Structure 1
């Protein structure tokens, strides 16, 4: 009788083969596999070995024990503070950007008029006072618009230092300081004091006088299409509050002359601050 071959000891890693051919890892086999894997990971750290977790774990192991726990990731580094952008003056040949009587003067919450109580030479156009230098272009604009069937009016032109003080104080009493200063300048900081700014009105929707809905009127459409030919720039466009310091005002147009309007259009720049590299913003200097 041939002696029976000695039974080989079953490896602790070996699965049990079921009658249907599937493999099943016992709890003991799973623990043994994990112990060896842990040892490999520890030795890999010391020996410079990087072990990657297989893309697909053995499905039977997962079924028996669940997926291996994923170690928590390290918290992200805290965001670093962003340094404020420092604007630099842009070298553009032309009139002064600081002289109160210059057509290119930049007046905003960072740059008041010098002197604060400056007053220009005046003319009357459309029943309102404006700087005399803009009178010919403004008259031409109003006349050509009317010939196109668009009746524009001048709701506001020049305002003296004292008049601007009254306008600002009234807005603060009515709306509170924060809301008032998003639309109304302090005296000495207003473009209206230069006489170069005009608030237009329209006949089609009188209730939109100095209101956002003026942007949806035929008068506003005409101005956007044609005002540049007369040297006027939409001074406070939509989305530029952080630059100009004021909410959008579709009725407020500033005379800068046709040369500068063309330069702005050619550069794709909407505001004087961005074109000249002049600081602006919602806070007063």
Structure 2
């Protein structure tokens, strides 16, 4: 059979070829637009650095969004938490570019911290606080002005062989070795005088003291709590040289009524013979900063204890300005 080509058929064939070529070019254009960076990988997702942490460290050492390392701080100050998503409808690639620009604009700022972030403000009280020079000294002065170094823990804690008002094996059974030995002698002497004693609370870690103080503040308010509880780092219990005591029955343990007991009267007369003092005596509240605590004993060694007892003064007065207690 012979075929004849007509002009109309030729035109239709040419149009089909042109349309096919145009469709190929459109696909190539779409592939290029999906890879604006020219990486040749149109399916690659932009790098995700993750959300910015709100716990970055401030210049002063306080953690944003957490508890500060100092004695007082605003845990919410300087928070730099960033939103995890952009609700404006910007593409992930655009968000990544904005993050890169922000980092480039502030090269000196730590990750997760804006350039304007500032440390928590210090109070006048913070400026008067000093760290003791020798926290391991048996005569170390720890009070509202002088505090123990951060993370300090005595390295010679032991359990004295004396009775306590509780049976559990807790950290508050412990004292430093020298103080523990002296406590055993003190308890033995009291027992000989038919006034057996029991321990109530000895060593406390910084974490334990912090928890106790916080609970007291919540219960009674800061002003009241400061009269009978020490802030973390300022507690004698953290030295491992202090212990609260009571009679064998535990009656009036760590309460005001203990001062009226025979045991309390005996301790006032004989504690110094074994190197202990009643650390917060009656009538000295303005000097010690704490209320009278007849049950709170502090080991300082026989020589110093007897001198303090003889002169009817406090450890604060004994140390005075003659002994360097703080780091230069």
Could you say which TM-score interval applies, normalised by the shorter chain?
0.5 to 0.7
Shift of 1:270: 1.5
Are 1:107 and 2:170 counterparts?
no
Deviates more, 1:154-163 or 1:119-128: 119-128
SS at match of 2:146: coil
For structure 1, the residue ranges without an aligned partner over 5 or more in a row are 1-96, 280-285
Whole-Å Cα distance in 2 between the matches of residues 205 and 123 of structure 1?
22
For residue 252 of structure 1, report the CA deviation from its aligned partner.
Answer: 0.3
What is aligned with 2:151?
A: 117
User: Could you say which residue in structure 2 is the equivalent of 1:203?
Assistant: 248
> What is the deviation of 1:269?
4.0
2:290 is matched with 246
**2:198 and 2:250 in contact (8 A); partners too:** no
SS of the counterpart of 1:154? strand
| 1:175 matches 2:220 | yes
Partner Cα distance (1:162, 1:148) in 2: 38
Match of 1:273 in 2: 316
- The one-character-per-residue Cα deviations of 1:94-115 (angstroms, maximum 9, x if unpaired) are xxx74110001000010001x1
Residue 187 of structure 1, aligned match among 224, 232, 251: 232
* CA positional deviation for 1:224: 1.0
Q: CA deviation at 1:204?
A: 5.5
Q: How far does the alpha carbon of each residue in 1:153-174 deviate from its partner, in whole angstroms, 9 at most, with x for none? A: 1100000000100111111122
Distance in 2 between the 1:265 and 1:205 partners?
26
Tell me which residue corresponds to 1:227.
271
Aligned-partner Cα distance in 1 for 2:321–2:289: 12
SS of residue matched to 1:155: strand
CA contact (8 A) 1:215 1:250 kept: yes
Q: TM-score, normalised by structure 1?
A: 0.60
Q: Using CA pairs below 8 Å that are at least 6 residues apart, which structure has the higher relative contact order?
A: 1
Matches within 5 A, 1:65-84: none
Partner of 1:27: none
Q: Is the 8 A contact 2:254 2:295 kept in 1?
A: yes
CA 1:188 to 1:110, structure 2 compared with 1: closer, same or farther past 3 Å? Answer: same
Q: Which residue of 2 aligns with 1:140?
A: 185
Report the 3-state secondary structure (helix = DSSP H, G, I; strand = E; otherwise coil) of the residue aligned with 2:181. Answer: helix
What's the secondary structure of 2:243's corresponding residue? strand
* C-alpha RMSD of the superposition: 1.7
**5+ unaligned residues in a row in structure 2: which ranges?**
1-131, 165-172, 323-328
Runs of 4+ in 1 over 3 A off after TM superposition: none
Alpha-carbon separation, structure 1, partners of 2:250 and 2:243: 18
**TM-score, normalised relative to structure 2:** 0.52
Q: Secondary structure at the match of 2:317?
A: helix
CA distance in 1, matches of 2:188, 2:254: 22
Deviation track 1:24-74 (CA, whole Å, cap 9, x = no partner) reads xxxxxxxxxxxxxxxxxxxxxxxxxxxxxxxxxxxxxxxxxxxxxxxxxxx
Give the deviation of 1:210 after TM superposition: 1.0
